[in-house]
Structure 1
Amino acid sequence: MGSYRALHDGWTLTGAAHEIEAAVPGCVHTDLLAAGVIDDPFLDDNEVRQEWIGRTDWVYETTFDWQPDELSPRTDLVCDGLDTIAALTLNGTEIGRTANMHRSYRFDVASTLTEGSNTLRVAFTSAKNHAEAERERLGDRPNAYPEPFHFIRKMACSFGWDWGPTLITAGIWRPIGLHTWAGGRIARVRPLVTVTEDGDGRIELHVDVERAGADPLVLAASVAGVRVEQTLQPDEDTAVLVLDVPQPARWWPHSLGEQPLHPVDVALTTTGGTSLDEWHRRVGFRTVALDTADGAFTLAVNDVPLFARGVNWIPDDALVTRITRGRLRERLGQAVEANIDTIRVWGGGLYESDDFYEICDELGLLVLQDFPFACAAYPEEEPLASEIAAEARENVVRLASHPSLVAWTGNNENIWGWHDWDWQPALGDRTWGAGYYFDLLPEIVGTLDPTRPYWPGSPWSGDHDTHPNEPSRGTTHIWDVWNQVDYAHYRDYRPRFVAEFGFQAPPAFATLRRAISDEPLTPSSPGLAHHQKAIDGNLKLERGLTAHLPAPRDFDDWHFLTQVNQARAITLGVEHFRSLRPYCMGSVVWQLNDCWPVTSWSAIDGDGRRKPLWYALRRSYADRLLTVQPRPHGPAVIAVNDGRSPWTSEIEVTRRALDGTVLAKAVFPLSLGPRESVTTPLPPEIVTPADPAAEVCVVTAGADRALWFFAEDKEINFPAPGYETEVAAVEGGYHVTVTAGTVLRDLTLQADRLDPGAVVDTALVTLLPGETTTFRVRTDATLDAAGLTARPVLRCVNDVRP
């Protein structure tokens, strides 16, 4: 059996007159931060004084002892990830060069290693300088941001985005080590997992072997009690091992079923049984299909079409080497808690780590994976073309075992950009990436992983003769809302599948206070302004508030109301799109997470705190949705059942005064099967208020409730909030019970203002007079009861009154 030795100790980092200790895996920024050379780039505007890091060439170096093994003549240096332009030398001899953050490298170093002390040196050229040189050589190409990220195979958002800092990293960002082996090793296993029409499972294991000798070798594979074996003759280095598994339990997204995973083991041995190498993964048996008939975009798992309740995913830290398995488990667990079943891995980031996809497998999250291209015209010349082909082949194979991965997408917004963003005059006859999205990538996916669908872009209409962002065909992105028009215009759309739409809000108060030292803190204070990366972001926030909510009196009002408005905007969009089921079969919100403390479109902020939007998503993405939507003949109640069991109830609809008095009432039966929806028009006496500013429509079906206000909050005659509170200390925190004496609109408890570690179980609760709710606060701190029940901790919209 071969052996692996990690080379993660004893590194130094040299550059820009600094020589410090280095952590591997890691990156230059984290090393400089640990050594006290730089301040935290996430705080205040420290980022702007650290551009020099991305302009500097850096050298990592370590010395290690080595004793050769005469029985294992091959030793390879295995680099799982180098960021990005690197030259590697061992004992003064160059052993290789790299130019791609998105792939791994392996170098034969047996003849370069010496007995005793050895010195390994990894010299990184500035990624920005390299990209600018390539831009000069190849000719400029348009993009959405003034940075040359499309001229280098590196995480694009390292160069900054409209939600992220410009931190152009360098370093040994994934494990590095020495693999010593003899006889042969398993170079690659490509598992193709399918299910027959009769429900039997089949795994085709396409195995590539690298040899270090001329003896026959034996490959054996097993799963679920099934085992096969094949002998490789001296002139053979590939094999296909087929494992047929009778009637395996199916893997499902968590919204439809369970997630059984089956260990698959592959062993390479000599004919005498000596172990040479092993490969282990877990697979799930499921089918996935994409229905695009008549413009549809509908995913079906195990022949069951599903409405994708989704969010977009960006790298969870701008300094990606700090992302741990535990952090991914927490963040993806938060997605599941919010009833999200689909994660789109956005094309300006990464092929995520094995940990990410393994957790998605375990949690039952569907993954829509973009290839890493975003918002730019990408050159198709060498050497980029070969690097892109190599990274795509490696990652399609690497991720093939994961049942959570259900579709590949060629890029983010590049086809749309070519059509609509004035690229064509600037490009002339220069390449822009079409050859990747329409030729290279579909050929690679079709050859290496035909079990999954491929879609050329997001958005993409499915037809070269149709605009790429045509809502009635394929996938669409909606960004006129937020950028130009009010969020009520989501209802102007009848899309088939919305792959991006979003609305901004600041992060939690504790996150702001950790990251920004402004005194006083205001929407336009220097630190907060720096942590707003969107063009005219604060003006768009203000426009959104002005259309719907009372004018804020101070920063606390502004912070609360902008968060409420974000939640309102996305709630309106999600519930509208779900109400169009089955014509529309996907809602993928921009975005789940943040990579640093920032005002952005996220539901979970850069410190991992849940914004009010997260609670709104949990409600809007629940299996059972009750919503009131405008229809041509007036408001109607739409009930959507995306659960696994029937929904039988009675719908009661009342028109009420704000003091709770019932002014009109109607009752309807409700009977829905799984994955069905029904629309019930409301009678005129329910939807015709005598005073739109003083009445509300209340719809209930068992424990589910929907509200329809006849006017915008800024126009409603809300009373001053009246309520009684009770605070009880319980194990692990507090229960805060609120009993409404008046209507309380979007009551929210911001416990992080008292304890940054506090988590509350719910938010945005609207109570009618006499109703009660209890907020469960999880905290290890001792909190002031009076503080828990007073402004600015306990808030509702109608406490913002002239």
Structure 2
Amino acid sequence: MSSYRPLHDGWTVTAVSSTGQLRPVVAGLPAAVPGCVHTDLLAAGLIEDPYLDDNEDRLTWIGRTAWSYETIFVWESAGDGADDDRADLVCEGLDTAATLVLNGVEIGTTANMHRSYRFPVRHLLSEGENTLKILFDPPYGYAEAQRAALGDRPGAYAEPYQFIRKMACNFGWDWGPTVVTAGIWRPIGIETWSTARIAEVRPLAAADGTVEVYVAVERAAERPLTLSASVAGVTESVTVAAGQRRTVVTLAVPDPDLWWPRGYGEQPLYDLVVRLEDQEWTGRIGFRSVELDRTDDAFTFVVNGKPVFVKGFNWIPDDCFPSRITRERLAERFAQAAAAGANCLRVWGGGRYESEDFYDLADEMGLLVWQDFPFACAAYPEEGRFAAEVEAEAREHVARLARHASLVLWCGNNENIEGHADWGWQEKLEGRSWGGGFYYDLLPRVVAELDPSRPYWPGSPYSGSPDLPPNDPAKGTVHIWTVWNTHDYTHYATYTPRFVAEFGFQGPPTYATLRAAVSDDPLTPVSPGVAHHQKAIDGDLKLLRGLGEHLPRPDGFDDWHYYTQLNQARAMAFGIERFRALAPHCMGTIVWQLNDCWPVTSWAAVDGGGRRKPLWYALRRAYADRLLTFQGDQGGTLAVVNDTDEPWSGELAVDRLTLAGEILAKERFDVSVPARGTASVKLPEGGAWAGHPAGEVLVATLDDVRALRFPSEDPAMDYPPAEMDTVVEEIEGGLRVRVTARTIVRELAIFPDRLDPRATVDDQLVTLLPGETAVFHVTGGEVDPGALVRHPVLRCVNEPR
């Protein structure tokens, strides 16, 4: 028998020591477990919210302080010894370098946030009260000591994050605050057991219905054991002989329903039950195959024999403090990704291995998971304890996640191979290790041993071989950061990549999110709080430079907020449409990024308050299953993209109109695009903008899909001042806003969160031709109907000045 008792109550936290840091006295403060020091101090009112204004700057002492967590718990043995021959302290997550002491006896140390630990404690438990202390070293102190011992190594930031196995972005990033945490961040408890326990279950399911269930057993007695596995009505049993600690049970399920990525089919999941004597393990599995097609330097996911065009988002931790991330919050983010048309999330290497809830939701919703091992943007040491810790964490999580049908790739790191090749690291390293042994040897060996059903990729970007330039668009995966850092977004059109795993363009958060995080009065693009919530180097300058000739110069905060958000949306739509038009040469785009961990100006589509930015609405159109997009100089080619299982045929209409809606020229084309195919329609040369380029628009329509192409940038267009009729009606659950254009209305947007932070709208950035009507639905909060259709809530590019 076995039983588990959580130890989540009665904890206190005390600041033990710090190095040259002014700090408040913290002694015996009530502590939440799971949690961390920051959330405990915040709950006690001892610190201000680190997400507000520049409060984070005054909290650096937390990461330079040693912390002691302590609890007293009552222990009562079973008496007859039947179910507690063994008792283990099970620590699912300790952050990070810690010493554990039970009843005055040191029972072990930890040095890795990314793995769990188990300590035998039966011999130390006393009847009645027991005292458990966990002393956490200062994260900075530990990392800096490792750096001094092993030698410095280059990284993207002047922080020692590569010297401690901890979530790298805790130390700040170009979208995140520096909040260096400590604490018991995942559950902790005591498991008692006798005879034997299930130590690990690693099921590998195949599309043909075969399930190989690998089971590891820990023993307290050497006698034969009966182990069984059941799924979909099929049960098989084996005897685990005395002395045997690993076994495999093979099941054959006849004609299982296959698990498919979202948009390609359903996501049936089957309950797998493993029993060892009176113990039981349960988990859901899906039947599918996954391969990585590398033919001719391609990078194509093939699921159940079918190539998949990846429409994805990069995922960062959704909060700097993981204990605040609930299943409900994850479900909201996943729903936002899916509603935008995504079928993939890449778990980025500067974060962490995510929770069971994360991967369960991905299984249920058909979102493919690309899983980076947690290494990012730095040279990592391979000496000392690091290699052992990396292997331990890799073995734990590869085994833990093996059952998840959504997981389709293990990736060694984020940008470290590129850094070693292209960022001048080699001279700085002076022959010291940089992590290559992990990416080219250790991690692929672990994956090949424990999870051969999935492909492994050494890093991203990567061209397929260590001797090739890693960020070559023509091979493997590419990260595109010329756009945003140095080039206009139209530069995306110069790329012909095989798979774009990272690319992005910044924009500020929604008004409600920014206003809640910043107390500046007045709120301006350069006011102190707004500036503090911009972490990118020269970020504000790049935002304004990025407007280029595309949009007018902003006049005040309201213009800045609308134009930079609009420009972000346009930039990413331009890139995605370019890359989708290249399919099947290019077979994936993963946008940087879906989400934020706090309120900040960033590349995210969903901001730190969980609100959808205009970018999200643009991505929903760019990621639609069926897409028309003008490509080439002056829109001389129209790409017809069909990401469905049915052919798309019909008459493609291309009309050249005046801005007043008068037809100047018509073209009609019979098109037929196969399932999951792309077609290119060459438009008559010179016909597109033969007239007045500042006063015309090209309109393409096939069925209910439309694309617009304007021959000049907005400031050069002869737009009339926008005129429109608006009607706001109360309906069940909110308000309906009907807008009818009397002139062209360019990029119409409604921002109801400016009136009530709870209010949302179902669409944004809609261009109306004269006589057309758009209907918006506003839900949540209490909103003045009249204010919904007035500046600055209702905006368009050509609004009257």
- Structure 1 and Structure 2 fold alike (TM over 0.5): yes
Listed as ranges, the matches of 1:753-768 within 5 Å are 753-768=754-769
Note if 1:667 corresponds to 2:668: yes
Note if 1:147 corresponds to 2:159: yes
Task: Give the Cα–Cα distance (whole angstroms) in 1 for the partners of residues 800 and 201 of structure 2.
Answer: 61
Cα distance, 1:763 vs structure 2: 0.5
Corresponding residue number in structure 1 for 2:435: 433
Letter in 2 for 1:217: L
* C-alpha contact 1:689 1:710 (8 A) present in aligned 2: no
Corresponding residue number in structure 1 for 2:489: 487
Task: Give the Cα–Cα distance (whole angstroms) in 2 for the partners of residues 759 and 54 of structure 1.
Answer: 37
Note if 1:101 corresponds to 2:113: yes
Letter in 2 for 1:763: Q
- Paired residue secondary structure (2:320): coil
> For residues 621-658 of structure 1, what are the alpha-carbon distances to aligned partners after superposition, in whole Å with 9 as ceiling and x for unaligned?
01101111016x96111111111222222211011111
Task: Give the Cα–Cα distance (whole angstroms) in 2 for the partners of residues 800 and 51 of structure 1.
Answer: 48
* C-alpha contact 1:653 1:686 (8 A) present in aligned 2: no
Note if 1:257 corresponds to 2:265: yes
Letter in 1 for 2:728: V
Corresponding residue number in structure 2 for 1:132: 144
Moved over 4 A (4+): none
- Paired residue secondary structure (1:571): helix
Listed as ranges, the matches of 1:169-184 within 5 Å are 169-184=181-196
Corresponding residue number in structure 1 for 2:786: 786
Corresponding residue number in structure 2 for 1:720: 721
Letter in 1 for 2:665: A
Listed as ranges, the matches of 1:644-793 within 5 Å are 644-684=645-685, 686-779=687-780, 781-793=781-793
Note if 1:620 corresponds to 2:622: yes
Alignment partner for residue 25 of structure 1, among 12, 16, 34?
34
Cα distance, 1:783 vs structure 2: 1.7
Task: Give the Cα–Cα distance (whole angstroms) in 1 for the partners of residues 798 and 703 of structure 2.
Answer: 27
Cα distance, 1:685 vs structure 2: 5.5
Corresponding residue number in structure 1 for 2:501: 499
* C-alpha contact 2:240 2:247 (8 A) present in aligned 1: yes
- Paired residue secondary structure (1:797): coil
Task: Give the Cα–Cα distance (whole angstroms) in 2 for the partners of residues 603 and 259 of structure 1.
Answer: 26
Alignment partner for residue 36 of structure 1, among 27, 45, 59?
45
RMSD value, Cα: 1.0
Note if 1:189 corresponds to 2:197: no
Alignment partner for residue 71 of structure 1, among 32, 57, 82?
82
Corresponding residue number in structure 2 for 1:373: 375
Cα distance, 1:800 vs structure 2: 6.9
Listed as ranges, the matches of 1:441-460 within 5 Å are 441-460=443-462
Letter in 2 for 1:591: Q
> For residues 736-786 of structure 1, what are the alpha-carbon distances to aligned partners after superposition, in whole Å with 9 as ceiling and x for unaligned?
00000111111011011111111111111000000000001111x332111
* C-alpha contact 1:664 1:685 (8 A) present in aligned 2: no
Task: Give the Cα–Cα distance (whole angstroms) in 2 for the partners of residues 634 and 759 of structure 1.
Answer: 34
* C-alpha contact 2:223 2:243 (8 A) present in aligned 1: no
Letter in 1 for 2:499: F
* C-alpha contact 2:759 2:782 (8 A) present in aligned 1: no
Letter in 1 for 2:655: T
Listed as ranges, the matches of 1:293-692 within 5 Å are 293-630=295-632, 635-684=636-685, 686-692=687-693
Task: Give the Cα–Cα distance (whole angstroms) in 2 for the partners of residues 800 and 265 of structure 1.
Answer: 66
Task: Give the Cα–Cα distance (whole angstroms) in 2 for the partners of residues 287 and 650 of structure 1.
Answer: 38
Corresponding residue number in structure 2 for 1:246: 254
Task: Give the Cα–Cα distance (whole angstroms) in 2 for the partners of residues 226 and 180 of structure 1.
Answer: 31
Task: Give the Cα–Cα distance (whole angstroms) in 1 for the partners of residues 156 and 274 of structure 2.
Answer: 45
* C-alpha contact 1:309 1:341 (8 A) present in aligned 2: yes
* C-alpha contact 1:552 1:800 (8 A) present in aligned 2: no
Note if 1:62 corresponds to 2:86: no
Letter in 2 for 1:585: M
> For residues 407-461 of structure 1, what are the alpha-carbon distances to aligned partners after superposition, in whole Å with 9 as ceiling and x for unaligned?
0100000000011111111011100011000000011101110000000010000
Task: Give the Cα–Cα distance (whole angstroms) in 2 for the partners of residues 171 and 429 of structure 1.
Answer: 36
- Paired residue secondary structure (1:573): helix
Corresponding residue number in structure 2 for 1:235: 243
Task: Give the Cα–Cα distance (whole angstroms) in 2 for the partners of residues 673 and 246 of structure 1.
Answer: 32
Moved more, 343-352 or 680-689: 680-689
Alignment partner for residue 104 of structure 2, among 92, 96, 101?
92
Cα distance, 1:598 vs structure 2: 0.2
Task: Give the Cα–Cα distance (whole angstroms) in 2 for the partners of residues 112 and 316 of structure 1.
Answer: 39
Cα distance, 1:350 vs structure 2: 0.5
- Paired residue secondary structure (1:290): strand
Letter in 2 for 1:156: A
Task: Give the Cα–Cα distance (whole angstroms) in 1 for the partners of residues 223 and 655 of structure 2.
Answer: 82
Moved more, 689-698 or 593-602: 689-698
Letter in 1 for 2:181: T
- Paired residue secondary structure (1:57): strand
* C-alpha contact 1:743 1:766 (8 A) present in aligned 2: yes
Letter in 1 for 2:253: V
* C-alpha contact 2:659 2:695 (8 A) present in aligned 1: yes
* C-alpha contact 2:635 2:709 (8 A) present in aligned 1: no
Aligned in 2, Cα 1:157/1:671: closer, same or farther, shift over 3 Å? same
Letter in 2 for 1:751: P
Note if 1:50 corresponds to 2:59: yes
Cα distance, 1:688 vs structure 2: 2.4
Moved more, 781-790 or 39-48: 781-790
Unaligned runs of 5+ in 1: 270-274
* C-alpha contact 1:486 1:547 (8 A) present in aligned 2: no
Corresponding residue number in structure 1 for 2:798: 798
- Paired residue secondary structure (2:493): helix
> For residues 167-190 of structure 1, what are the alpha-carbon distances to aligned partners after superposition, in whole Å with 9 as ceiling and x for unaligned?
000010000001011111001111
- Paired residue secondary structure (1:609): coil
Cα distance, 1:221 vs structure 2: 0.5
Cα distance, 1:103 vs structure 2: 0.3
Cα distance, 1:673 vs structure 2: 2.1
* C-alpha contact 1:665 1:686 (8 A) present in aligned 2: no
Task: Give the Cα–Cα distance (whole angstroms) in 2 for the partners of residues 515 and 490 of structure 1.
Answer: 33
> For residues 524-560 of structure 1, what are the alpha-carbon distances to aligned partners after superposition, in whole Å with 9 as ceiling and x for unaligned?
1000000000000000000011331011111101000
Cα distance, 1:692 vs structure 2: 1.1
- Paired residue secondary structure (2:206): strand
Task: Give the Cα–Cα distance (whole angstroms) in 1 for the partners of residues 222 and 501 of structure 2.
Answer: 52
* C-alpha contact 2:722 2:800 (8 A) present in aligned 1: no
Task: Give the Cα–Cα distance (whole angstroms) in 1 for the partners of residues 689 and 730 of structure 2.
Answer: 45
* C-alpha contact 2:76 2:128 (8 A) present in aligned 1: yes
* C-alpha contact 2:340 2:616 (8 A) present in aligned 1: yes
Corresponding residue number in structure 1 for 2:292: 290
Moved more, 751-760 or 606-615: 751-760
- Paired residue secondary structure (1:248): coil
Task: Give the Cα–Cα distance (whole angstroms) in 2 for the partners of residues 466 and 116 of structure 1.
Answer: 64
- Paired residue secondary structure (1:236): coil
